[in-house]
A and B are shown apart, each in its own frame.
Chain A
Amino acid sequence: MPESLRYIQAVNHALAWALDSRDDTVYFGEDVALPGGPFGATKGLHKRFGDRRIFDTPISETGFLGMALGSAMTGLRPIAEIMYADFAFVAMDQIVNQIANTRYSSGGRWTAPLVIRMQQGYSPGACAQHSQSIEAYLAHTPGLRVALPATADDAYQMLRTAVTSDDPVVVAEARMLYPTRGEVRLDAPVEPVGGARVVRPGTDATVVAWSRLVPVAVEAANQLAAEGIEVEVVDLRWLNPLDFDTVAASVGRTGRLVVAHEANLTGGFGAEIAARAADECFADLRAPVRRVAAPDVPMPAAPSLQAAVVPEAAAVVDAVRRTLA
């Protein structure tokens, strides 16, 4: 039976499911055990599963991501929590040089079945070091799976997929979506890795988005529908593996493409989608691909300044209109 849950509650349910499913699953990070996590993702899990399964670490992202790798190589299935995605940068060596290389550089003899859970994006007053959207850095690295759930149900399903995967998976959640509520299929079978999804059908233009920009794109589509413009919204969901077929099929129906993300414009994953569209959808495109993104500035803290850079529905509406002009 689907249950109405907030996004963050769905994360909590998925983690309980993972810890309950296998004794070799362990969970660690900063303030995750006794405190239950700064956002409540691990609330109640320490009481239920105990120190052996879930424990707090020092503020040492490099140390505990390396520990996640070494334990994954030798028989555990760890889930390590990076409190804010921005903090992953202090541990990029472990993510990029160590974790991502393990399977390939050993010719498949070692594996790294681990999950790195993090959350990202801006929130009012959060500074440049607590607001970044880092998915492009991750998706650039071969060997990492990258998941960006945009709904409560996906927060549950995609995290379960991640912990079941035999590859390292980074699950980058959207902090701003934590309070949002949705029907969560708690008893659904575990999905395979990957897969984009058309979340709103349309005929006039395609908007590809992920994470917080998915509800933003849907809001923009609803506004444009009032004017008789039907926008198809694709939630990309996974950047690796990338389901470009779903994007290409949508562009085949609409002939117009907008890519929308909260990350900065230059080198953002939207550039990859635009380049692939140029390669594979050239004959279908009736207008240049447009990108919606934060401009190339660090995230300011003051809400009045944030409003000037964070992409919202108006930016998506404007981009769609330009593809139709």
Chain B
Amino acid sequence: MGLADDYRSMARIRRFEERLMTLKDEGEVPGSIHLCNGQEAIPVGAARVLRDGDYVSATYRGHGWALARGVDMAALFAEIMGRDSALCGGRAASPYLSDVSRRFVGENSIVGAGVPVAAGAALTARHQGTGDVSVASIGDGAMNQGNVHEALNLAAVLDLPLILVVENNVYSEMSRIDDMVRVKQLAERAAGYGIPGTVVDGNDPDAVAAAVATAVERARAGDGPSIVEAMTERLVGHYSGDAQHYRPAGEIADARTREPLVRIRNAADAALTATLDAIDAEVAAEVEAAVAAARAIAFPDPATVKEHLYA
């Protein structure tokens, strides 16, 4: 994988989410959405070292993980637009969507709650002896939830093939994470579970891929879980309507100078720049085609509202 491939994967996520915001402004996306602008290198780097059989769980800020794992872009648009998508038929939308066909166990809109569930997918892999692993992404704030603590200790004592990727974007929703914990790095907590914990540059797909690869290797070998803390910055609000008045002046502008797409752009020579320009055009076309395909999908039939509750 080279810079151009990484750029394409990350640009697909960025443009997808930017288009979601315009669709929201145009009234085509109901409800709040939580964007991962600036954090794209984490799912893209991690996905590079995973195989099809592996399970991935994410949070309500999980569109990037879905796309990085190959979930169909048009289906994602349709689900988030409240349409009868092939993902969840419009019953989940932006914060709770999943894709059984891609083993994308799904997002979760209860902070941290997906980690015990991800441990369950890891239990299945262990029971079946497949060597598959389960990757759970959470934010920094979720490290203060009891469910994450319980799941990490459980996975440690059962040697489950679980990789916890903590996307530390500085903010625990709308409060600074360093006001909410007394450790410098959240990965320090790994020692409390007797498992490895590493801190990586979350704006660098190579660094993320390397750290996740080490954790995956350990998990596949039956040696248990790991924590990878990926340091990054959120370029947008906690949710689509967040005015972010709590962020210091200039913080977002500074972050924009080191976010992963800009980083590749800044390092590119003329030839790569031309390639990236071409990729941008292709991604823009892909996004528009996906929106058109999503718009062609009907809204769910109200007559089906009680379906799929029981077997």
Question: Which residues of A are at the interface with B, using a C-beta cutoff of 8 A?
Answer: 24, 26, 52, 55, 57-58, 60, 62-76, 78, 93-94, 97-98, 101, 103-111, 142-143, 145, 165-167, 241
Contacts and interface: CB of A to CB of B under 8 A. Distances in A.
B100 interface: yes
Nearest 7 pairs of A and B residues by beta carbon: A70-B120, A66-B116, A63-B150, A107-B89, A108-B308, A60-B150, A166-B311
B120 A68 contact: yes
B51 interface: no
Identify which of A62, A67, A111 gathers the most chain B CB atoms within 10 Å of its CB.
A67
A164 to B, nearest CB: 11
Given A97-B110, A105-B88, A74 B151 contact: no
Nearest to A51: B158
Contacts of A104: 91, 308-309
A76 B124 contact: yes
B81 interface: no
B92 interface: yes
A98 B124 CA distance: 18
B154 A63 contact: yes
Nearest to B115: A66
A62 B91 contact: no
Identify which of A64, A78, A166 gathers the most chain B CB atoms within 10 Å of its CB.
A64
Contacts of A65: 116
A73 B120 contact: yes
A58 B153 contact: yes
Contacts of A107: 87-91, 308
B308 A72 contact: no
B146 interface: yes
B65 interface: no
Interface string B67-100: 0000000000000000000011111100010101
Identify which of A72, A75, A109 gathers the most chain B CB atoms within 10 Å of its CB.
A109
B309 A64 contact: no
B123 A71 contact: yes
Contacts of A111: 311
A76 to B, nearest CB: 5
Contacts of B11: none
Contacts of B100: 106, 109-110
Contacts, number: 147
A98 B88 contact: no
A308 to B, nearest CB: 36
A105 B96 CA distance: 8
Contacts of A68: 120
Contact of B55 (A60, A62, A74, A94): A74
Contact of B153 (A63, A106, A167): A63
Given A69-B117, A75-B124, A62 B110 contact: no
Interface in B219-259: none
Given A55-B158, A67-B123, A106-B100, A97 B113 contact: yes
B113 A70 contact: no
A113 B151 CA distance: 20
25 contacts: A58-B154, A60-B150, A60-B151, A62-B150, A63-B119, A63-B154, A66-B113, A66-B151, A67-B116, A67-B117, A67-B123, A70-B120, A70-B123, A70-B134, A73-B117, A73-B120, A74-B124, A94-B147, A105-B96, A107-B89, A107-B91, A108-B89, A109-B100, A110-B98, A143-B310
Contacts of B146: 62
B264 to A, nearest CB: 35
Interface in B93-113: 96, 98, 100, 103, 105-106, 108, 110, 113
A167 B151 CA distance: 23
A104 B311 CA distance: 10
A107 B153 CA distance: 32
B307 interface: yes
A61 B118 CA distance: 15
A72 B120 contact: yes
Contacts of B153: 58, 60, 63
Contacts of B108: 98
B34 to A, nearest CB: 17
B29 to A, nearest CB: 18
A111 B308 CA distance: 10
A42 B153 CA distance: 24
Contacts of B90: 107
Given A67-B120, A75-B128, A106 B98 contact: yes
A93 to B, nearest CB: 6
Contact of B127 (A76, A109, A142): A76
B199 interface: no
Contacts of A106: 87-89, 91-92, 98, 100, 106, 308
A109 to B, nearest CB: 5
B49 to A, nearest CB: 20
A105 B119 contact: no
Interface in B116-137: 116-125, 127-128, 134
A78 B89 CA distance: 27
A58 B119 CA distance: 14
B157 A69 contact: no
Contacts of A63: 116, 119, 147, 150-151, 153-154
A167 B127 contact: no
Given A64-B150, A167-B310, 18 more contacts: A57-B158, A67-B120, A67-B123, A67-B154, A70-B121, A73-B105, A73-B120, A74-B55, A74-B120, A94-B116, A94-B147, A98-B117, A106-B87, A107-B89, A107-B90, A111-B311, A143-B309, A241-B310
